[in-house]
Amino acid sequence: MNLVALGLGAAAGAGVASALMGLLVPRPARAAAVGLGSAVTGAAGVLAGIAAMTGQTWSMAAPELLPIAGVFLEVDALGGLFLAVAGAVAAVAAIYGIGYSRHHADGRAPQAVLPLFVLTLLIVPIAASVGTFLVCWELMALTSLLLVLTEHRRRAQVGEAGRWYAIMTHLGFMAILIGLLVFTAQAADDTFPALRAAAATLSPAVAGLVFLMILVGFGSKAGVLPLHAWLPRAHPEAPSHVSALMSAAMVNAGVYGIVRVGFDLLGGGARWWWLVVLLLGALSAVYGILQAAMSTDVKRLLGYSTTENMGLVLVGVGASGLFASAGNTVLAALAMAAALLHVCNHAAFKTLLFLAAGSVLHATGSRDLDALGGLRRGMPATTAAFGLGALAASALPPGTAFVSEWLLLQSLIQGLPNAGIATSIVLPVAVAAVALTAGLAVATFVKAFGVGFLARPRSDAAANAAESPATMLAGMGLAGVACVALALVPGLALPLIGRVAGGIAGTQTAPATGALTIELAEVTGTLSPFLLTVALLAAAVLVVVALRVAAARPRRQEARLWDCGAGPMSARMEYTATSFAEPLQRVFDNVVQPVQDVDVTHYQESRYLVQAVEYRRQIPDRIERRFYEPVLLAVARWGRAGRRLATGSVHRYLGYGFYTLCALLIALVVMR
């Protein structure tokens, strides 16, 4: 019995059925029906993906199904990994969505589109021809766009975010289209096996062009610099379970594309490709986390953190390509395993963080960290979930990201001694970027958790927040279990991922082995997150017991906060997210270039007495300003110039059509 086929069949059936349920089931039961159906779809995807990673394969060819291109599907280990990750995120987000969408998002359209989006997420990694891949890719973009626009009637910003997303994703699509079509033109047909066969005959220039085009396209999906602008816009405005799906599952498709085309179809390629990937990844990681450290909107912060994590993944992918082009396949497999493990880890903790942020939004109606705080009392489960996610995201033990970043650093360290000049300059820079990212991530998530959830409430909404419904808690619980499992027992995922990575890099040696203790192949390096956690817990218990024994009066007594004897302090005296990030903002003043405005109003009687001080600070995305605004202005100018052609007269338009047709016919006659 082929589990892959079984899982995919079940996923397709459940996905289509839940889309229909979204259209037909009446409102009270709609969210539950669609949510459960989508969860089954996702779970079936996980089953198929894991079966594929253990070595089962399955393929399907239906040349007659789509006109011209046909449908070709094939599941291999690499596709299986991304299939499993997308399925797992979808299952968790769908369960959470039952409770979440009951308030704003249980209309027919969003509920019918959600399962379709999940289905496209599952099909993209198993498409095996350029035609199938592009159709699925476009469907994935369109369905996710519809989901982003769910709440467009309630907030005006949603429409703007949707426009940005639509344009960026289609620019990316065009780049992928051009790249893959140039590639296909050199091959017998558009199936992936044919492309693989043609890769050897490509000239280096053409191969480089193809790679650059797909890097632009897939990079825009992964939110890599400088094409990340849609990410911090679309993620805050989408419903939170959709944000989780996009940020934890859909961006991975970008990484998948780069690995699939770069390693599998083009077969490795030149060293400069991977240097570009590595540098782009390093830049994205640092820039993304720096913007995240500055932002006060919790979902925007998480969106920028996605850019950061995808950057780290690309550092791993780039390093792997470098090592592979130098012929060191074991090391290439290690770097690739680190990148893929980080994909899994990021999916787990980003799902958890977005779901917890959504729960806060659901309870308080606010995403602004400066207006939150004190959520521990009203929302203990959500606070615990966000705390766990923040620990995982900040690359501290015993969190998940610590394990994958450790692996990444190990591969970079091992890569240095046997590298060329270019590589030996790039690798220390990459390490510095990863290190800077790790440090800033700690500051970012201390801010997000400490200011947003601890301390005292800074608004009435935060003070009166109540815990979310059970389905939302269940979703967060599942994501939390995944985080803990991946953090403590990397052996659950690492052998399978190692096999996938080995397959990509072309080696039989598993780069990392061991269930509880990670042991690296051909390299002295061991790490046991499990033992580390056990040791930490044991030490903590020891300290508590010792304290009980040694303290003369072990009972606790409540007391007032120290307030200089001036009476109770107000919440306005607390540090906010803005003030918390201020020192960092000063340090990186030259990079982020904040816009500050201080207005001091004096009393009329004396200019030494201050009546009011108004302070405004904005941190615009600098890349957006330098890179996008000129382009947008040029387009607008072009549009205005074009307006003269379109006066609204029907005769004129008919005339344009007539003259164009004539010109075409003349051209055809002449060229014949």
Partner 1 sequence: MTPLGLVGGVVQPLLILAGSPLLLGVMRQIRARLEGRRGAGIGQPWRDLRKLMRKQRITPRGTTEVFRVAPVLLVATTLVVAVVAPFVTITSAVGPVADLFAVVALLALGTVAVALAGLDTGTAFGGMGASRETTILALVEPTLLVAIFALSVRVGSTNLPAIVSATLEDPGQVLSSASLLAAVALMIVIVAETGRLPVDNPATHLELTMVHEAMVLEYAGPDLALIELGSAMRLSVYLGLLANLFFPIGIATELSVLGILGGVVAFAVKVTVLGAALATTEVFLAKLRLFRVPELLAGSFLLALLAAGASYFLG
Q: Is 525 a residue that touches partner 1 (CB under 8 A)?
A: yes
Q: Is 650 a residue that touches partner 1 (CB under 8 A)?
A: no
Interface pick for partner 1 out of 64, 200, 327, 524 (rule CB under 8 A): 524
Own/partner pairs, 201-204, CB within 8 angstroms, 24+ separation: 202/266, 204/270
Q: Residue 599 pairs with which residues in a beta bridge?
A: 614
Interface pick for partner 1 out of 197, 422, 547, 632 (rule CB under 8 A): 547
SS3 string, 134-160, reads HHHHHHHHHHHHHHHHHHCCCCHHHHH
Angle between helices 251-259 and 329-364 (to 10 degrees): 170
Instruction: Give residue 248's identity as a one-letter amino acid code.
Output: A
User: Contacts with partner 1 in 438-477 (CB under 8 A)?
Assistant: 438-440, 442-443, 446-447, 449-451, 454-456
Q: Is 159 a residue that touches partner 1 (CB under 8 A)?
A: no
Which CB atom, from 413 or from 610, has the smaller least distance to partner 1?
413
Interface pick for partner 1 out of 466, 561, 641, 650 (rule CB under 8 A): 561
Which CB atom, from 127 or from 483, has the smaller least distance to partner 1?
483
User: Contacts with partner 1 in 368-387 (CB under 8 A)?
Assistant: 373-374, 376
Say whether the peptide bond before residue 594 is cis (omega within 30 degrees of 0).
no
Q: Is 566 a residue that touches partner 1 (CB under 8 A)?
A: no
Q: Which string of x and - marks every residue 575-594 that binds partner 1 (by CB under 8 A)?
A: x---xxxxxx-xx-------
Q: Is 133 a residue that touches partner 1 (CB under 8 A)?
A: no
Q: Is 188 a residue that touches partner 1 (CB under 8 A)?
A: no
Q: Is 532 a residue that touches partner 1 (CB under 8 A)?
A: yes
d(CA 271, CA 68): 36
DSSP letters for 213-269: HHHHHHHHHHT-TTS-TTHHHHHHHS-HHHHHIIIIIIHHHHHHHHHIIIIIIS-S-
Which CB atom, from 173 or from 575, has the smaller least distance to partner 1?
575
Which CB atom, from 182 or from 571, has the smaller least distance to partner 1?
571
Q: How many residues bind partner 1 (CB under 8 A)?
A: 85
User: Contacts with partner 1 in 33-52 (CB under 8 A)?
Assistant: none
Which CB atom, from 34 or from 487, has the smaller least distance to partner 1?
487
Which CB atom, from 15 or from 389, has the smaller least distance to partner 1?
389
Interface pick for partner 1 out of 174, 185, 540, 635 (rule CB under 8 A): 540
Interface pick for partner 1 out of 65, 188, 425, 635 (rule CB under 8 A): 425
Burial state string for 478-501 with b = 16 or more CB within 10 A and e = fewer than 16: bbbebbbebbbebbebbbbbbbbb
Which CB atom, from 156 or from 552, has the smaller least distance to partner 1?
552
d(CA 504, CA 34): 37
Residue tagged 């008919």 (tokens): 654
Q: Is 410 a residue that touches partner 1 (CB under 8 A)?
A: yes
**Cβ–Cβ < 8 Å for 645, 660:** no
Q: Is 551 a residue that touches partner 1 (CB under 8 A)?
A: yes
Which CB atom, from 197 or from 536, has the smaller least distance to partner 1?
536
d(CA 260, CA 239): 30
State in angstroms the smallest separation of the CB of 460 from partner 1. 16
Q: Is 397 a residue that touches partner 1 (CB under 8 A)?
A: yes
Q: What are the phi and psi torsion angles at 552 (to 5°)?
A: -75, -40
Ramachandran category for residue 619: left, alpha or beta (phi over 0 → left; psi -120 to 50 → alpha): beta
Which CB atom, from 100 or from 580, has the smaller least distance to partner 1?
580
Which CB atom, from 572 or from 651, has the smaller least distance to partner 1?
572
271: tokens are 């060293």
Say whether the peptide bond before residue 125 is cis (omega within 30 degrees of 0).
no
Q: Is 424 a residue that touches partner 1 (CB under 8 A)?
A: yes
**Cβ–Cβ < 8 Å for 364, 372:** yes
Segment near partner 1 (CB under 8 A); pick from 102-110, 317-325, 402-410, 468-476: 402-410
Which CB atom, from 107 or from 378, has the smaller least distance to partner 1?
378
State in angstroms the smallest separation of the CB of 619 from partner 1. 16
d(CA 666, CA 672): 10
State in angstroms the smallest separation of the CB of 409 from partner 1. 6
Which CB atom, from 588 or from 627, has the smaller least distance to partner 1?
588
Q: Residue 61 pairs with which residues in a beta bridge?
A: 72
d(CA 336, CA 141): 27
d(CA 211, CA 220): 14
**Cβ–Cβ < 8 Å for 183, 195:** yes
Those residues whose C-beta lies under 8 Å from the C-beta of residue 593, and which sit 6 or more positions away, are: 620, 622
Segment near partner 1 (CB under 8 A); pick from 128-136, 170-178, 395-403, 635-643: 395-403
Q: Positive or negative CA dihedral for 405, 408, 413, 416?
A: negative
Segment near partner 1 (CB under 8 A); pick from 42-50, 98-106, 330-338, 525-533: 525-533
User: Contacts with partner 1 in 268-307 (CB under 8 A)?
Assistant: 293
278: tokens are 């590595």
